[in-house]
Amino acid sequence: MELSTLPIHHRLQIIIFTLLSSAVLLHATHPILAGIFRFLTTHLLLTTVTSLSAAVVLLFHLRSRPYPVFLLNYSCFQPPDHRKCTYDLANNFILQGGRFTSMQPVEFMRNIYFKSGLGNDTYAPPFMFEDEQNPTLRNAVQEAEEGVFSAVDSLLSKTNVLPEEIDVVIVTCGSFSPSPSISSLIVNRYNLRPDVKTYNLSGMGCSSGVLSVDLAYRILRGGGRKISNVLVVVTESITLNWYEGEERSMLVTNCIFRVGCAAAMITNDPSRRSSAKMELIHSLRTHHGADDSSYHAAFQEEDGKGITGVSLTKDLIRVAGVNLRQHIKILAPRVLPLSQLVRYVYSVITAAMSGGQLKPIVPDFTTAFEHICVHTGGKAVIEQVGRVLKFGDSVTEPARMTLNRFGNTSSSLVFYELAYFEATERVKKGEKMWMIAFGTGFKVGSLVWKWIRDPEPESDNPWNDSIDQYPLKVW
């Protein structure tokens, strides 16, 4: 076997062995030459060992360094116009079929609807437009399939990512978990590879869209080049969660939740950076379920008559505020500029020395981000976030408009809000965006993005048919 065909570390071993053998022979025949040769050999060996060590350290550093993660693109599902949930449609639906034995729950829902901040252009599930209007498993699957297939079809077309190039599928659907799972539905529909990794998440509420991206982020940062493309699908099927009892805390969900779905392609492929929309530069998720009030703030259970529903307690808004404060205590040092951090630390020390008479200031997060996607869970939630973080109406406008146009679409809500930023052409290359969402459990999730390029108009932006009407003065 020729020396040139051997691996480099084997060749170095042979060369060093040859040199040392020569030194031994020379020492026996000529002491002076042997000394010179031994001196050169020692330095050569030291240099070789040092170079190899440096190379190993550099290689280890490069291999262990987290990969940058990018949002290649995303798509939001927009149901057809005949699925719009106007006030008249919603009112007629609850009055038909003898769903309620008294008018008290009907009047309560009407009152919630008028105060909710939702407009007449949100979308209802398919079963509400059928003659019998009875929610069935078939209807729930239909709702999920329509949203998922539409969003994924559009996404694959925009990104030019082939199904066989998808390495991981992450699906989240908070309260609908059929068998086979929705992730299996996607694998079957798009004929994905047998070795594709799938995750099917449920029970995490409105925060699960952000938390799914967080999961993709952590997989891609440590997955190496063997994992390059993660398909994230965030949806909800509200068909089987229509509540027909009379418990007021459970009737609220009938009024604010609407149909929605989004799909996103997350990648760590550096060759796709120039075509990606944003880079995900930070992610944080906190779980506050150890506290009983937080754990029970939004809870699926049976009412006194055995009818299942999701109870949104009066304590939910307070819990959201308390847990948001805990969340930003962790997030702030990682994202705020030094000037804000110094002011905040000073205020904390002053408050401690005042014996409780003073409170620490709330850092100004608008100094860290040009744009903020506030969780659009409902009017009261948006207002609470605004109060806690001292946001003006201009900051919460995208959330308020998204709630008006699409309602609470649960896990996908941040993507509809993201589409609003693009439709209004208010984001630019180099700017940072903060997404924050809450969910049952109680969980808070944050994503920090940096725009890689100026957004371009998208033919499937769900705001294309209505953006000229916004912003509205709805509150």
With contact defined as beta carbons under 8 Å apart, do 245 and 475 qualify?
A: no
Euclidean distance between CA atoms 9 and 4, whole angstroms: 12
Euclidean distance between CA atoms 72 and 220, whole angstroms: 13
Taking the CA atoms of the chain, what radius of gyration do you get in angstroms? 29
With contact defined as beta carbons under 8 Å apart, do 443 and 211 qualify?
A: yes
User: Within this chain, do residues 391 and 410 fall inside the same structural domain, yes or no?
Assistant: yes
- In a domain? residue 475: no
Long-range contacts at 86-93 (CB < 8 A, ≥ 24 apart): 86/120, 87/113, 87/120, 89/124, 89/128, 90/124, 93/124, 93/128, 93/133
Dump strand ranges (E) for 353-459.
371-373, 432-439, 443-451
The DSSP bridge pattern shows strands 168-173 and 197-201 to be parallel
**Which pLDDT does position 360 carry in this prediction?**
81
Task: For residue 467, give the DSSP letter.
Answer: G
- Structural domain of 334: 69-469
User: Within this chain, do residues 20 and 75 fall inside the same structural domain, yes or no?
Assistant: no
Of the residues 42, 64, 86, the one at which a domain ends: 64
With contact defined as beta carbons under 8 Å apart, do 77 and 261 qualify?
A: yes
User: Within this chain, do residues 75 and 39 fall inside the same structural domain, yes or no?
Assistant: no
Catalytic residue positions, numbered: 206, 287, 371, 375, 408
**Which pLDDT does position 334 carry in this prediction?**
92
Burial class (CB in 10 A: 0-12, 13-18, 19+), 3: exposed
Give residue for tokens 């027909």. Answer: 244
User: Within this chain, do residues 263 and 375 fall inside the same structural domain, yes or no?
Assistant: yes
User: Within this chain, do residues 398 and 436 fall inside the same structural domain, yes or no?
Assistant: yes
User: Within this chain, do residues 150 and 59 fall inside the same structural domain, yes or no?
Assistant: no
**Which pLDDT does position 38 carry in this prediction?**
60
Euclidean distance between CA atoms 419 and 340, whole angstroms: 30
For 365-396, b/e burial (b = at least 16 CB within 10 A) is bbebbbbbbbbbbbbebbbbbbeebebeeebb
Q: What is the CATH number of the domain that holds 93?
A: 3.40.47.10
**Which pLDDT does position 53 carry in this prediction?**
56
- In a domain? residue 474: no
**Which pLDDT does position 295 carry in this prediction?**
93
Q: Residue 42: enclosing H or E segment and its boundaries? A: helix 31-64
User: Within this chain, do residues 297 and 406 fall inside the same structural domain, yes or no?
Assistant: yes
**Which pLDDT does position 30 carry in this prediction?**
58
Residue ranges for the chain with pLDDT beneath 50: 56-64
Of the residues 15, 39, 64, the one at which a domain ends: 64
Q: Cα torsion for 138, 139, 142, 143, to the nearest 10°?
A: -150
Euclidean distance between CA atoms 272 and 260, whole angstroms: 28
User: Within this chain, do residues 172 and 283 fall inside the same structural domain, yes or no?
Assistant: yes
**Which pLDDT does position 412 carry in this prediction?**
94
Euclidean distance between CA atoms 174 and 241, whole angstroms: 11
- Contact partners, residue 222, CB within 8 Å, separation at least 6: 66, 67
* Strand, coil or helix: 75: strand
- In a domain? residue 375: yes
User: Within this chain, do residues 18 and 104 fall inside the same structural domain, yes or no?
Assistant: no
User: Within this chain, do residues 105 and 44 fall inside the same structural domain, yes or no?
Assistant: no
Closest CA to 171 of 201, 191, 192: 201
Of the residues 64, 82, 108, the one at which a domain ends: 64
User: Within this chain, do residues 410 and 390 fall inside the same structural domain, yes or no?
Assistant: yes
- In a domain? residue 198: yes
User: Within this chain, do residues 34 and 74 fall inside the same structural domain, yes or no?
Assistant: no
What's the maximum distance between 2 C-alpha atoms anywhere in the chain? 114
Length of the chain: 475
Question: In the chain, how many domains are there?
Answer: 2
Euclidean distance between CA atoms 312 and 308, whole angstroms: 13
- In a domain? residue 165: yes
**Which pLDDT does position 13 carry in this prediction?**
59
Neighbours of 319 (CB within 10 A): 21
